[in-house]
Structure 1
Amino acid sequence: MNKQILLGLIISLLVLSGCAQKQEVDQLGIVILTAVDLDEKSGKYEVIVQMISPEKAGGGVKNQIWAASATGDTVMRAAKNLRAKIPKKIVWFHSNLIIIGEAVARQGLGKVIDFFARNQEIRYNSLFVVTEGKAANVLDTNPRFEDSLAQEIEGIYRNYKSWAGTYALNLKQMLVRLANKQYDEVTGRLTTYIPDVAPEGTYKQESLVKGTSKKTVAMSGMAIFKKGKLKGWFNRPETRGYLWITGEMKRGMLIGVRPMEKKKFSVDILEENTKLTPILSNGQIKFRLEIKAGVKISEQIKGINLTKHKNIAKTEKLIAEQIKDDIKAALEKAQYKYEADIFGYGPAIYRKYPEKWQKIKKEWHQIFPTVETNIKVKVTIKRLGMITKPIMMD
């Protein structure tokens, strides 16, 4: 009898606990996106959040998506001030996206990153991106294909990253980079635009619009930092160059042009192997960059017959030159314009020549622009697609 009473009490407690949790759900403001801006005149930070607020509806729970913002002398103060405007308990456990405004990034991430690093509710795998202009402009857009802007941006990033159009770090990776004094930081570049005026590397979209805002978002290229401060941007070819150098070119597409015939062709990257080696000669550091890539011909515009060996070899050489051009563009801007070692040259020297690194590490940002890189690229056409000859020949 006592066992039956005890069992009944346990079941009752479990049921009551479940009911209590259900009653609390509609009291939560669940943050799914966090953005930070800086008012350069006042020096105050603005924290903007997009939230899901579960509401009771028809005996069930319906999610409402809305945004709120507050300002403060620090990011933490601004986040606390949100509570004066929101009648919900704010929780960050489901926040998967952090957007940093351009002014904040140029001032330096050191003054804002501490908030994200110390907040035990914020996920370290949250996507960390920088936007041109104000982050508030991004939250002023409406998602076109997803229920929330956070989901829309995450989906865009996954799609465009798979075709080498951008590259971003998550919060943990950014924290590691900022703590590591051997090389500099990069992350994804977020932009807003009106669909009829698409930015470089993106495409015009039809009016399959959710909401009324005329602006939408895109990710293209990268944000480049030096010692935690935003220095500028990489476009899509420069981003490809970065991915080749760092071995992150897992998949992508290249468009080549045959100079004599002025005919374009497209290839898909199937595989790549990158080897970056520092060489110490007469007290000077140089680098050797070796890249091997396997590709598939995805398109020819009135091309040549690739069943002939000489034509395959010629096309492989052209693709290799295109890859070299992207690499040179990335190196030139990083070394000469930004003086930012985003490629990991510093860590490579430290691993192979630790004593040399100890001697040069304090002056590395002055030395880096003078370092030469010998680039070797070998391309192999692995597949020709479903057909071996072009449909039309000249």
Structure 2
Amino acid sequence: MKRTLLVILLPVFILSGCWDSIEIQNLAIITAAAIDSEENHKVKVSVQIFIPRTITSGESGEDPSLGSTFVREGIGKNLAEAISVLQTNIPRKLFWGQCKIFIFGQDLAKTGIRKELDFLIRHPAPRINSNLYVSEGKASNLLKLIPPLERYSGEVLSKFSQHQEVGVDTTLSDISKDLTEASQSFSLPYIKRLKSDEYARKSYETIPTIVGTAIFKKDKMIGNIDLEETRGLLWLSRKIQKSTVSIKPEENENEVIMMPTSGSVRFKPQIINNQWIMNIQIQVAASIIQNETFLSLLQEDVITKLEKGLENKLRDRISKTLEKIQKEYQADVVGFGRRFHQKYPEQWKKVKDHWDEKFPEVDVKLSVNATIKRSGDIGGPAALPEEEVIEN
């Protein structure tokens, strides 16, 4: 009898686990969200919601200007209230499971985003691996763009996060760690609407694109760096990218273009006679992808000169970035403090409460060693007569 009762009740227990499930047709799937400041210290949340008809209709030749998403907004005295108001404007239940993009408007970023970050990190709905951005102007405007290639602007930013070779990649998880460190400094990709020269397209038929990096100090945006300085930051962040580097050899008006293929960055903190020193050693291997000069790349001395040129170019680029974040912004977005803390815990205790003042005083010693691994199958530039190639 007991065995029979167990068999009868078992299916009941199994089915009871789905009592609170919601059918997909009752969900509003959010693909990206924007957070902006409003008057009277209020905050506006805008969400990009996927339109199911674009995948269920099965029709071809649909007008692309209709888009795959629409945007709804909610305003409140805080982010929690704004989302609550937003829900009243949408008949379906908001679903955040597919939202991996959060964009902060520049005005809000400059006044501080700690409250908004606290909600996003604390609330179980937003994903902890969601990517964060700062927009030039209102963040909500970027959600309304209709890309010519991807389905919606949130998808564009998602792919930039996966494959972008010039922008930093920062998630909610990264921010939650950075804000617990002494410097409380971090960086986010800085984005804006790409202006298109295609006259056949409307102004909103374009994409958001990365134009640099926003620098934050204690939850407030204090400035930004351009794309070239961002590339230097990527090296310091150990995110070796495949961006091109152009070198102009001595006594040449044209350039040799190279692409780093691998590399490593080592940080070695030192304290000598109370002088804090950060030794940064960079190893990089590169391939030549274009030769605009008349030089033969089969000559060893030519390759040696190009390697020195690459070292100087990378050293200048990284030094320029360090000058900006260390001297101008005084924001330790590269983690110097963490490394000194690990090696010199006792000395660190004396400076951790005023690391913002100590960080600009750190003496940075930067060394770069470059090796050209591949110069191509030909020595001189393609389509150049052999007698015009310069051998040395």
Which band: TM-score by shorter chain? 0.7 to 0.9
Shift in CA distance, 64/134, structure 1 to aligned 2, threshold 3 Å: closer
Matched, 1:137 2:135: no
Paired position in structure 2 for 1:335: 326
Equivalent position of 2:120 in the other structure = 116
User: Which 4+ stretches in 1 moved above 6 angstroms?
Assistant: none
Stretches of structure 1 lacking an aligned partner (at least 5 in a row)? 197-205
**Alpha-carbon distance in 2 for matches of 1:279, 1:212:** 53
1:72 Cα deviation after fit: 0.5
Shift of 1:118: 1.8
Q: Kindly tell me: are residues 208 and 301 of structure 1, through their superposed partners in 2, closer, same or farther at Cα, counting changes over 3 Å?
A: farther
Separation in 1 of the partners of 2:50 and 2:96? 11
CA distance in 1, matches of 2:193, 2:56: 34
In the other structure, the counterpart of 2:89 is: 85
CA-CA distance at 1:156 after TM superposition: 3.1
How many residues are paired up? 369
Matched, 1:32 2:36: no
Could you say which residue in structure 2 is the equivalent of 1:44? 42
The CA deviation at 1:233 is 1.2
Q: Is the 8 A contact 2:74 2:82 kept in 1?
A: yes
Shift of 1:208: 8.5
Among 146, 153, 161, the alignment partner of 2:150 is 146
TM-score by length of 1: 0.86
Task: Spell out, residue by residue over 1:67-97, the C-alpha distance to the aligned partner (whole angstroms, 9 max, x if none).
Answer: 1001100011000001221111111111111
Amino acid at match of 1:297: I
Aligned pairs for 1:377-392 (under 5 A) are: 377-391=368-382, 392=384
Secondary structure of 2:124's match? coil
Q: Contact 2:68–2:152 at 8 Å: present in 1 too?
A: no
CA distance in 2, matches of 1:185, 1:59: 44
Give runs of aligned pairs for residues 361-376 of structure 1, distance below 5 A. 361-376=352-367
Judging changes above 3 Å, is the alpha-carbon distance between structure 1 residues 208 and 306 closer, same or farther for their aligned structure 2 residues?
Answer: farther
- Calculate the aligned-residue CA RMSD, in Å: 2.8
Change over 3 Å in CA distance of 1:59–1:226 after alignment to 2: closer
Q: Describe the superposition over 1:21-77 as per-residue Cα deviations: whole angstroms up to 9, x where unpaired.
A: 7x93222101111110002x32110000011243596699xx962210011000110
Q: TM-score scaled by structure 2?
A: 0.86
Give the conservation status (yes or no) of the 8 Å contact 1:28–1:54. Answer: no
**Distance change >3 Å, CA 24–CA 299, structure 1 → 2:** same
CA shift digits 1:116-146 (9 cap, x unpaired): 1122111111111111111022123212211
User: Shift in Å at residue 109 of structure 1?
Assistant: 1.9
After TM superposition, the structure 1 = structure 2 runs for residues 4-23 of structure 1, keeping only pairs within 5 Å, are none
Name the stretch that deviates more: 251-260 or 239-248: 251-260
Q: Give the Cα–Cα distance (whole angstroms) in 2 for the partners of residues 269 and 208 of structure 1.
A: 37
Q: Indicate the residue corresponding to 2:308 in structure 1.
A: 317
**Overall identity of the aligned pairs, in %:** 27
Matching residue of 1:195: 196
**Matched letter for residue 31 of structure 1:** I
Q: What is the DSSP-based 3-state SS (H/G/I as helix, E as strand, rest coil) of the residue aligned with 1:32?
A: strand
Return the offset for 1:263.
1.6
Q: 2:281·2:366 contact (CA, 8 Å) conserved in 1?
A: yes
- Counterpart position of 1:199: none
Distance 1:313 1:59, change over 3 A: closer
Alpha-carbon distance in structure 2 between the residues aligned to 1:72 and 1:104:
14
> Which residue of the partner structure matches residue 186 of structure 1?
187
The answer to whether the Cα contact below 8 Å between 1:274 and 1:289 also exists between their aligned partners in 2 is yes
* Aligned match of 2:62: none
Conserved? CA contact 2:156–2:207, under 8 Å: no
- Which residue of structure 1 lines up, in the alignment, with residue 170 of structure 2? 169
Partners of 1:247 and 1:318 lie apart in 2 by 21
SS of equivalent residue, structure 1 residue 134: coil
